[in-house]
């Protein structure tokens, strides 16, 4: 059993074949266009939701525009294509 420092390191180990199995993010599998036979998806009902937060540090026009984009249909589509669930 090997414990990695972070999810990126786990992905690197699994992707390069250094380990037989690894728990990685769905978005990492989407990014490399992994084939279904290369992974097993853990059912969403077997773990609590993993919530991601964001914060705007400087209330500027570009920051507001970026957060508006993230919440927009186009932004949500981008997240979905990367393997993430929509903002609720």
Q: 18-28 pLDDT, tens per residue?
A: 999 999 998 99
Q: 10 with 16: CB under 8 angstroms? A: no
pLDDT at position 12: 95
**Structural domains of the chain, count:** 2
User: Are both 10 and 43 inside the same structural domain?
Assistant: yes
User: Are both 81 and 59 inside the same structural domain?
Assistant: yes
Q: Is the pTM above the cut of 0.85? A: no
Domain span at 38: 1-47
CA triple 27-19-48, angle to 5 deg: 40
**What is the CB neighbour count within 10 angstroms for residue 39?**
15
User: Are both 10 and 40 inside the same structural domain?
Assistant: yes
pLDDT at position 29: 92
């Amino acid at each position: 059993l090997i414990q990695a420092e972070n999810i990126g390191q786990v992905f690197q180990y699994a992707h390069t074949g250094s380990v037989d199995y690894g728990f990685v993010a769905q978005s990492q599998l989407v990014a490399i266009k992994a084939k279904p036979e290369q992974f097993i998806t853990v059912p969403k009902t077997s773990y609590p939701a993993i919530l991601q937060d964001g914060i705007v540090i400087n209330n500027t026009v570009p920051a507001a525009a970026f957060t508006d984009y993230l919440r927009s249909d186009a932004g949500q589509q981008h997240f979905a294509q990367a393997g993430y669930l929509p903002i609720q």
